[in-house]
Structure 1
Amino acid sequence: MSSSGIAEQAVTLFTQRERERFLTANPRSAELAERARQSLFAGVPMHWMSDWSTPVPLFVESAQGARFRDVDGHDYVDFCLGDTGSMFGHSPAPIAAALAEQAGRGLTTMLPGEDAVICGELLSERFGLPFWQVATTATDANRFVIRWARAITGRKMLLVIDGCYHGTVDDTLVRHRQGTTVHRAGLIGQARNLAKTCRAVPFNDLAALEAALAPGDIAALLMEPAMTNIGMVLPEPGYLEKVRELTRRYGTLLIIDETHTISTGPGGCTRAWNLEPDFLTLGKPVAGGVPASVYGCTAEMAQAMQIAREHASEMSGGHGHSGMGTTLSANALAMHCMRANLEQVMTDAAYAHMLPLAARLAAGLRELISRHGLAWSVSELGARCEFQFCATPPKTGAEAEAAFHDSLQMALHLYLINRGILITPFHNMTLCCPDTTAEDVDRLIATLDEALETLLAIPGVRLS
């Protein structure tokens, strides 16, 4: 039996039909998958690329705007958009032009150019934090900010939210289980006990938050203002304001990770909700899909960072290594693309197009769920929304995880893929970009409607 209201035997039969359909329609992807197994671990360049719903990886030939084409010549409407990496569409024209402009002017020099200055100014204006640094991925940005926070406060402990997503930062790969912080299930090759330097508490749980902060040993709370990777979980009214109050009371720095929640608007939740973080991190979409990330800080933090640098220099006799920064960080190509993205792509006009479409999609999903009599719900966050297999939107990561129905989710995703629509894997999140159209949104709703009608028509499908 299933909490989704749909019998597992029906999901199994439905999935079998769709897998056969995919393999018949995608011989070139199947051929490349077999070839790839000879040289690529798991047959893909990153092992999780084999974890989609398709029986073999779907190989892409090209992508533009809100669409891509696979190697078998099928066209798709893309609501995944590189899981936010291409949040403003694939290869926006200003980014393509910036790539071409910089290609013959040097890609990386380990020295700044005017683009870096302009990016810093644009970021300060957009997010309200005066000082910025550039890294290569959000994982890097978060790792560096954690180190700064520990240096500034003299404390070792980090606090995160149960079910959080901050890239692959070791310190954050923990869960909250029965009041205890433990390693995430499936974590590979972790040599040290992360619970010795990190605690996890549930989202929207102010009592648990204050209990974790009370010992006075937490350097920083690193959090998304809304959870986005374990299924969307939105903050309850007043929660984030109280988070800021409690972190200040206990001398803990607040780091807001906007890598996914930038879908809310040009200044993310930080500007939209007046969050007042000490640090802000942002990766994936900030350079229009070219690898780059940033972190910003208040003037107070910048001053404390300088003091920390001076102290480290004194302790090392003027020689040492901060442990932050990589050779390709802030390279000339990334900075030129970031400037183009901030000036011409990641604009108020873009959001004015994206947000109403996401609202249209959320409304359509709610109507669809109601019409089919399913105890599911829909969550919205700016340009993204998600349908979840629970009657009311979850309030914590644990509640969101409890609503997972992996086989049903994978079956629905595969049905959509077989009909030219892609949504974010591993849960049911969608993202609208400046190239998404109302027709695209309506097509997704109609195709999901067809999937549910097909699935619910299988004898014995609905549970009592």
Structure 2
Amino acid sequence: MSTESAVDRSRLAALADRERATFARRHPRSRAAYEAAGHLFGRVPMTWMNKTAGGFPVYVERARGARVTDLDGHEYVDFCLGDTGAMAGHSPAPVVDAVHRRLAGLGGASTMLPTEDAAAVGAELSRRFGLPYWSFALTATDANRWAIRLLRAVSGRPKILVNSYCYHGSVDESLIVVGPDGRGQSRDGNVGAPTDVTVTSRVAEFNDLAGLERELAHGDVAAVLMEPALTNIGIVLPEPGYLAGVRELTRKYGTYLINDETHTFSAGPGGATRAWDLAPDVLTIGKAIAGGIPIGAYGLSAELAGTLLGRTDLDLVDMGGVGGTLAGNPVSMAAARATLEHVLTDDAFAGMTATATSFAEGLRKIIDGYALPWSVSQLGCRVEYRFADPAPRNGTESAASADAELEDFLHVYLSNRGVLLTPFHNMVLMSPATTAADVARHHEVFAEALGELLSGS
């Protein structure tokens, strides 16, 4: 049974039109702000902010904990949480205090000098993820880019292997998918690629060890860059034995392994790496570890760090292509220390994951009650509902299961009733401030939406 057969498309279109009209009426100030932003490219600070089911974005006035209030005075339960950037909740008090002390007390947002906070953050990341040496960036995208450069340098190999429909920020090498013929091709919409992506990259489907080995056997792959579970295309969980098989194959073919934990950090206080006992050579992360303040980080194994530091031909100090003036700045380091020590603690993750489990269980009951061919996937404190059952097992299947019209309807319906989801998919995230009442509110509205949509089916 498909989503097409489960949903009356004409009814869906009519309800979506009604909800978009309601959205426009409810948000005159947000609409006016959007229309007045003529000097912004696409009328928004970043063009992806135009991904909105209502036709224009909601403009935020304030955010605290798991709540956002817009310019028109509407309050929302926020399950988006900055698409992981605010997983600690909006403006958590320890982070606000740490940033305030740095700026108003000690002073200095950009000094190009180290602080003791950075060493404390490195030690805490080492405790959580198991890699002993850390360096910092402003985004996980940069952390991935710099890790790729380092591993190309030490391996002497040119190519990077990723999973089809992975997400590693705007890393050029990651914008490759498995085409209909089974070969790699540029992902649709790839903007201004500096070269044909198949020159720099190889690709294999997630959960496909045979496909991975086929690509690694060429002997030209410096590193496999992967999420331990796919996230941005929709949660795709690893099958039993898959991640162990990836590590075995990378070692067999002399290839380094990078775990990108930017989103899979939701699996627990040490991400999927700690939760699933993984052993990458490099781990990259960003967003959540500084409570919403821009940051990225990458951790290195002892062997890899020693090899890199022993290479006198690599310029790791000046213009070698690794580093940035604002990376490791005092504000992001203070924010990260406060977040890791006082907000996203081991105890906090236990509570967040329990809330997510409750969310997932309640969601399945609603979906099963309507006998819909949908599924629910959970990754620690992250949950997503998919328009496919069973849940997709790789990125290509996940992309094929998307239903933009249905997704937009659900998003705008929920938004009009005070619930925000991640705009790119049906993902929800729990923060330490997310409550059982917040979960109940989502489920109440979600059930109402399905009731209206399916009452005539």
Q: Where does residue 291 of structure 2 map in the other structure?
A: 288
CA contact (8 A) 2:3 2:388 kept: no
Q: What is the alpha-carbon distance in structure 2 between the residues aligned to residue 238 and residue 368 of structure 1? A: 32
Q: What is the alpha-carbon distance in structure 2 between the residues aligned to residue 188 and residue 4 of structure 1? A: 35
For residue 163 of structure 1, the aligned residue among 158, 162, 165 is 165
Q: Aligned pair 1:349/2:356, yes or no?
A: no
CA contact (8 A) 2:133 2:300 kept: yes
Unaligned runs of 5+ in 1: none
Q: What is the alpha-carbon distance in structure 1 between the residues aligned to residue 148 and residue 382 of structure 2? A: 28
Structure 2 residue matching 1:401: 3-state secondary structure: helix
- Show the 5 A alignment for 1:362-381: 362-381=360-379
TM-score (norm 2): 0.97
For residue 138 of structure 1, the aligned residue among 140, 144, 147 is 140
Q: What is the alpha-carbon distance in structure 1 between the residues aligned to residue 367 and residue 65 of structure 2? A: 29
CA contact (8 A) 1:3 1:389 kept: no
Which residue identity does 1:119 align to in structure 2?
V
- Show the 5 A alignment for 1:61-460: 61-104=61-104, 105-177=107-179, 178-308=181-311, 310-312=312-314, 321-457=319-455, 459=456
Which residue identity does 1:48 align to in structure 2?
W
Structure 2 residue matching 1:311: 3-state secondary structure: coil
Q: What is the alpha-carbon distance in structure 2 between the residues aligned to residue 337 and residue 152 of structure 1? A: 32
CA contact (8 A) 2:3 2:387 kept: no
Q: What is the alpha-carbon distance in structure 2 between the residues aligned to residue 400 and residue 16 of structure 1? A: 27
Which residue identity does 1:337 align to in structure 2?
A
Q: Where does residue 51 of structure 2 map in the other structure?
A: 51
CA contact (8 A) 2:136 2:295 kept: yes
Which residue identity does 2:6 align to in structure 1?
G
Structure 2 residue matching 1:61: 3-state secondary structure: strand
Which residue identity does 2:343 align to in structure 1?
V
Q: Structure 1 residue 312: deviation in Å?
A: 2.8
Seq. identity, %: 50
CA contact (8 A) 1:2 1:8 kept: no
- Post-superposition Cα deviations, 1:51-87, rounded to whole Å, max 9, x if no partner, equal 1111221111000000010000000000000000001
Which residue identity does 1:88 align to in structure 2?
A
Q: What is the alpha-carbon distance in structure 1 between the residues aligned to residue 176 and residue 345 of structure 2? A: 35
Structure 2 residue matching 1:233: 3-state secondary structure: coil
CA contact (8 A) 1:99 1:333 kept: yes
Q: Structure 1 residue 111: deviation in Å?
A: 0.8
Q: Where does residue 4 of structure 2 map in the other structure?
A: 3
Q: Structure 1 residue 319: deviation in Å?
A: 9.6
Number of aligned residues: 453
Q: What is the alpha-carbon distance in structure 1 between the residues aligned to residue 340 and residue 349 of structure 2? A: 13
Q: What is the alpha-carbon distance in structure 2 between the residues aligned to residue 3 and residue 216 of structure 1? A: 44
Unaligned runs of 5+ in 2: none
Q: Structure 1 residue 307: deviation in Å?
A: 2.8
Structure 1 residue matching 2:170: 3-state secondary structure: coil
Q: Where does residue 26 of structure 2 map in the other structure?
A: 25
TM-score (norm 1): 0.96
- Post-superposition Cα deviations, 1:153-191, rounded to whole Å, max 9, x if no partner, equal 100011000010000011111111121111110111123
- Post-superposition Cα deviations, 1:334-381, rounded to whole Å, max 9, x if no partner, equal 111111111111101111210011001101111111101111000010
- Post-superposition Cα deviations, 1:299-327, rounded to whole Å, max 9, x if no partner, equal 1000111133x1235xxxx9962101111
CA contact (8 A) 2:88 2:339 kept: no
CA contact (8 A) 1:4 1:390 kept: no
Q: What is the alpha-carbon distance in structure 1 between the residues aligned to residue 285 and residue 76 of structure 2? A: 28
Which residue identity does 1:72 align to in structure 2?
D
Q: Where does residue 40 of structure 1 map in the other structure?
A: 40
Taking a change above 3 Å as real, the CA distance of residues 268 and 196 of structure 1, as seen in their structure-2 partners, is: same
Q: What is the alpha-carbon distance in structure 2 between the residues aligned to residue 290 and residue 142 of structure 1? A: 18
Which residue identity does 1:183 align to in structure 2?
S
Q: Structure 1 residue 7: deviation in Å?
A: 2.4
- Post-superposition Cα deviations, 1:3-52, rounded to whole Å, max 9, x if no partner, equal 3621221111011100111111111111111111x211221111110111
CA contact (8 A) 1:137 1:292 kept: yes
Structure 2 residue matching 1:455: 3-state secondary structure: helix
Aligned-CA RMSD value: 1.3
Q: Structure 1 residue 448: deviation in Å?
A: 0.3
Taking a change above 3 Å as real, the CA distance of residues 277 and 57 of structure 1, as seen in their structure-2 partners, is: same
Q: Structure 1 residue 231: deviation in Å?
A: 0.9
Q: What is the alpha-carbon distance in structure 2 between the residues aligned to residue 320 and residue 40 of structure 1? A: 34
Which residue identity does 2:264 align to in structure 1?
T
Q: What is the alpha-carbon distance in structure 2 between the residues aligned to residue 347 and residue 418 of structure 1? A: 33
After the TM superposition, list the runs of 4 or more consecutive aligned residues in structure 1 that deviate by more than 4 angstroms.
none
CA contact (8 A) 1:4 1:389 kept: no
Task: Out of 40-49 and 140-149, give the one that drifted further.
Answer: 40-49
